[in-house]
A and B are shown apart, each in its own frame.
Chain A
Amino acid sequence: MIDRRQLLKAGLGAGLCGLGAVPAQAQKPQLLLASAYALGGDEPRYAVSVCGHDGRERLSVPLPARGHSCLFRPGTSQLLVFARRPGRFLQVLDLSGAQPPLQVDSVAGRHFYGHGCFNHAATRLYVSENDYDAARGVIGVYDATRGYRRMGEFPSGGVGPHDVKILSDGRTLVVANGGIETHPASGREKLNLFEMHSSISFIDAPTGQLLQRFSLSDHWQKLSLRHLAVNAQDEVFFGAQYQGAREQMPPLMGSVSRAAGIRSFELPAAVTASLKNYISSVCAVPGSRQFVASSARGDAAVVLSAEDGKLLQLLTAQDVSGIAATADSLYRSNGAGELQRYDQGPGQWLLAQRRAHTDRHWDNHLSLGAYAGPLL
């Protein structure tokens, strides 16, 4: 474990920047954006950045390896960074600097998939993990009040759990089981494409009981349901990545509910084709029934109606991946280091700001959080 002084020292030598940029007296809740990134240069280096809504960096902290998604712990100064599959670290950063960073490693026989979520009290953390020798997905349960001690685990209901979200009842988890088997001995290699089956599970978090599980038809057996977004109405949306032939173009987005199961959104063929069988990230827009999905391979993001999946807007941007939304603004990040903000205009989102961080490639996801205290 390293302390704050060591963190500062390490950061100054390895990409930590922006410290002290926000004065300690800033106590008003502020909107923050967090994303992992890769630094350009002679050797690949990885870090996590926290930016304000204006896109200016407030904080940057090196990571031991490539990160995937971030998660603000509500009501606290903690920011969690999950390692990218098949990584084994979970970094817990204290944005105020009062506590040294904490690294939680996956237990023996498990690795992380890059996502997690809190219960409503933010006392329990649920993390998608791989029981790789048994080729089964599990959800690891961690006690956030006791240094993220691992309390146990339960089956995710499928292979390759990726994203995990919690519904408004505070106990029902939704898990996207991507269906792809991997093993650390083979790195990121996909081991079972010929027999993969993706699914979405509803699980009762306190008991670990599988409530319901929905799978795709055999026709789209190679469609990997990967990322999830949940809105205030508890509507669950998914974004998928297709592992089959490029010429086949399955629906990549849809919704899932316990009552109706999986419902795919049918987009115009040209739009589906333009997304290149790949959705990078999804998010729900608070206060509206809109759902946004990005496609790095398609160089585009689509805004859809949550009601019927109708395409509302197509926003193109090179290598766009991270997306996050408030009721008023939509944020996007891309591999070229751009952070963009779109504001709600009459009937559509309008580009309001773009900030270039040319030293880096923003990684897969962008996370939003509100934080009231001083920054490190």
Chain B
Amino acid sequence: MKMRRACIALSSAWLLTLAQPVAAAVTAAEQRVFVDRAIATVFLPAFNNLQNSGAALHAAVAKSCQAVHAARPELAAVIADFSSIESYRIGAMNTENRAERLYFWPDRKGTGQRQLRRLLLSPARAELNLDALQKKSVALQGLAALERILYQPVRDTADCVVAQAIAANLAQISEELASDWQAGGGSVKALREGARTSAYRDSREALAAVLTVANSGLAYLADKKSVVLIKGLARSQALAKNAPFWRSGLTFENVRRNFAGAVDLLQGSGAAEAAAVQGVLGFERSNGFAMLVAAEEALEQGDIATANNRLEAFRFVAQSVQALIAERIAPALGVVTGFNASDGD
């Protein structure tokens, strides 16, 4: 176990195993089936959900401009759906800074707060529309800024104009992402075609990309997001203000859905089943959820030490799933990657 953790700690890149596992003989057609299932059962529904909730939020903010706080339930729904796809850094999520425009986190320098404060003090905010917003900093364009507006006192309807522009932007980005995963969409074509000039030369590379999405998401949870939470708790003896979605109280929901999003890919694609690890993965999934519930409960009771202990345990669960990918799933599916290819500089 010590070795496994040490290897993972080397990098968030995946499949860095010093004792390289041997790839199984899996046919291209079989690999294609996993990719197709990931698209049909995981990516497409998840991005469709975000599109739907994004549209609902847009409508709610427009409707309730006299009391923009009334749109909090719709915002919560978008945060939930976004959290499911937050780690799906593939396809259109990687272009036009969509990932950062959806949610600018971590904001190490407080850029978003500083810029939003300035914007909300500006008389020009009453004229802000979608086009103008899209020319502004990515830190102002997405969920982080909208959450701030909806969870602080609103002075006048001009603040609502800003909220409307952000909601419109979120709806537009969500729509673009969803169409990327429809039949004929960019990601679907790239993953399925495997032409020599496409992003993936063959089905092995396409499948490797899908597994990398899951692995990178887990690495981000284990190495970054959990660490931010743990350090914040130790420092503040409460949820720190750099925790994701702390204003709306959805921090743990965000982490839980991040984790589920990664595991869903392994289960929905059929990869876990093919590698005969569905039982282990199911156990890790339940275990991860239980650790997060326990951490949140401990936090509510003011038991910071226990909360941090459970978060550390959650990190370990996320790392265990990473190890499962590297040691069992990827070799079983014939997608082992080289030392330098996975972790060069």
Contacts and interface: CB of A to CB of B under 8 A. Distances in A.
A248 B95 contact: yes
A319 B339 contact: yes
A270 B224 CA distance: 36
B339 A245 contact: no
Interface stretch (B41-49, B57-65, B196-204, B326-334): B196-204
Contacts of B92: 245
Contacts of A188: 11-12
Interface stretch (A34-42, A70-78, A165-173, A343-351): A34-42
The interface size bin for chain B is: 35 or more
B7 interface: yes
B201 A274 contact: yes
Contacts, number: 104
A366 B19 CA distance: 22
Given A42-B3, A270-B196, A335-B339, A194 B344 contact: no
A222 to B, nearest CB: 9
Contacts of A114: 345
A319 B198 contact: no
Interface string B15-53: 000111000000000000000000000000000000000
B214 to A, nearest CB: 16
Residue among B11, B187, B338 with most chain A CB within 10 A: B338
B223 interface: yes
Given A273-B198, A273-B201, A41 B18 contact: yes
Contact of A246 (B6, B19, B94, B338): B94
A84 B10 CA distance: 12
Contacts of B11: 188
Interface of B: 2-3, 6-7, 10-12, 18-20, 90-92, 94-95, 97, 100, 108, 138, 186-187, 190, 196-201, 209, 223-224, 338-341, 344-345
Interface of A: 38-44, 66, 68, 84-85, 114, 162, 186-189, 191, 193-195, 244-249, 269-270, 273-274, 278, 280, 296-297, 299, 318-321, 334-336, 361-364
22 contacts: A40-B18, A40-B19, A41-B19, A68-B345, A189-B12, A193-B100, A194-B138, A244-B94, A246-B200, A247-B95, A247-B198, A269-B197, A273-B201, A274-B201, A319-B339, A319-B340, A319-B341, A334-B340, A335-B341, A336-B338, A336-B339, A361-B18
